[in-house]
Structures are given as structure tokens and as C-alpha cells.
Amino acid sequence: MKYKGLYKFVFMLILLSFTQAALAEAYSGIMTKEKQASMTPQEVLERLKEGNQRFISGQMKNRDLGAQASTTTTGQYPVAVILNCMDSRTPPELVFDQGLGDVFAMRIAGNILNNDLLGSMEFGTKLAGAKLIAVIGHTGCGAIRGACQHAKLGHLTGLLQKIQPAIAQASKATDGKRECTRAEFIDQAAKDNVLMVIKQIQTNSPVIKRLIAEGKVGIVGGMQDLATGQVTFFEDASMMPKN
């Protein structure tokens, strides 16, 4: 019995060490200016892939978001700009298991592109130092289906109009037919939409096109499977620096 107090003391020390280790892991997730500058576009892509694997396996990092919020008040150094759909099941910070300050998340129905989003991408890359632009669509996209069915509703009508070229592209494989109720057709149109947005970014932004040509920024598309959370990147259609 005389050792009971000693055992309790040792146990508390061990518990404290585990707590400190957990907190250290949380703090280590903060992206710094030096770390951002040292990363290549390919390394950022690998970071997103690894984060997505943690997401789908249920092994996401244990972050202290309160501490991250406090630590990042003096600056932010995101490594990626992610344009994806506003669908509530596709939040990029969760899907790629990233912390506060790690990525710029740009969300809009159908992950379409407009000048305001393009300007934000230019800020995120040229001025804020992000190394990768990722355009991510997803399976079962309601915006893609709405565009296919010519849905009309206020300002949404104009947004869906931007997706029509992707619907037309997908229709080439079905003899021009819009198979709006077939999941495979909608998913193919979603993929075509991602690939078209990637081209639009490079065509409409000399700033980003130059950054890609200089090897400072990469651009890649991908699709998230809503059923599994898995993101498949279209690396054969990407523009990544050779390093």
C-alpha cells in the first residue's frame, strides 16, 4: 500500500506525456511559410492523396482546431487551391484531411469557373504561394443532372448553362442522347466538366498559365466517389512540373 501514491504519480506522468504527444501532433499540422515554399506541386498532390486515404480509412489526424485557429491568426500559407462542388458531402478539408490554413477551399455548384473564382485562384497561387490547383467533381452531382435536364431557377439557370459543354461532350458517346437519368452518363459529364474547367483556367488566366509554364504551380483534376469518399485524380490530363 505504501507504493500506491508512487504508482499514481507515475501513472499521471505517463498520461501527461501521452497528452503532450497528442498536442504536439496537433500543432505539427500547421503549415508554415518555410514549409510551403519548400514543397513542390507533386509533393502537394501526394499530400492530398495521403489525406484522402486517411479519410476513407477512418484514420484522420487528431487536430486541435482551436489551437490551429490561434496559431494561424498571424498568417496563412496554404499549399493548394481546391475548386469543388458545394455539395454538403464533399468538404475538401475533410475529404483530404487538412487542417486550418492548409488549403484554399473554393466551392460552387458544379465546380464551374467564373472570373471571380479565377481571380481568387490567381491570388491563391501568385500572391499567397499555393503550389497546386485541384478541380474536383463528384459522382451523382445534382448540378450536372440539373444542367442535363435544362433546369431553370433564377440565377441558377445561368450557372447551369456553364455546364452545357460538358453535357454535349458526354452525349457524343451516346449518339447525341442526353441520358439524364443514367448515373454513368451524369458521372461522365461530371468528369468532362472537370477537364473543361482545367482547360478554361489555363486559357483564361495568363497569370496561372505562366506559373505552370515556370514550374511553380501544377494543376490537376479529380472525381470523388460519394459512396466511398475516394478521390481519383486524372493525372494523365494534369499539368505538373517535371521534378
| Chain segment 63-108, per-residue pLDDT in tens | 988 889 988 999 999 999 999 999 999 999 999 999 999 999 999 9
Q: Which domains does the chain have, with CATH numbers?
A: 31-237 (3.40.1050.10)
Paired strand residues for 84: 107, 136
Dihedral pair phi/psi, residue 111, rounded to 5°: 40, 50
- Asked if 233 and 239 touch (Cβ cutoff 8 Å), the reply is no
pLDDT of residue 145: 98
Calpha distance 123→139 (Å, rounded): 29
Is the model's pLDDT at 213 over the cut of 60?
A: yes
Edge-to-edge strand order for the sheet containing 132-138?
103-107, 80-84, 132-138, 218-224, 231-233
Which amino acid does the sequence have at 138?
H
**Could you give the C-alpha distances from 101 to 29, 130, 132, 155, in angstroms and in order?**
9, 11, 15, 31
Tell me if 150 is assigned to a ligand binding site. no
Is the model's pLDDT at 25 over the cut of 60?
A: no
pLDDT of residue 27: 42
Tell me if 138 is assigned to a ligand binding site. yes
Dihedral pair phi/psi, residue 77, rounded to 5°: -140, 60
Going by pLDDT thresholds of 50, 70 and 90, the confidence category of residue 201 is very high
Is the model's pLDDT at 119 over the cut of 50?
A: yes
Is the model's pLDDT at 159 over the cut of 70?
A: yes
Dihedral pair phi/psi, residue 160, rounded to 5°: -65, -25
pLDDT of residue 6: 57
Tell me if 148 is assigned to a ligand binding site. no
- Asked if 228 and 141 touch (Cβ cutoff 8 Å), the reply is no
Calpha distance 167→164 (Å, rounded): 5
Selection from 145, 140, 142, 143 nearest residue 227 by Cα: 140
Calpha distance 43→38 (Å, rounded): 10
Tell me if 85 is assigned to a ligand binding site. yes
- Asked if 180 and 148 touch (Cβ cutoff 8 Å), the reply is yes
Other CB atoms within a 10 A radius of the CB of residue 240 amount to 18
Going by pLDDT thresholds of 50, 70 and 90, the confidence category of residue 238 is confident
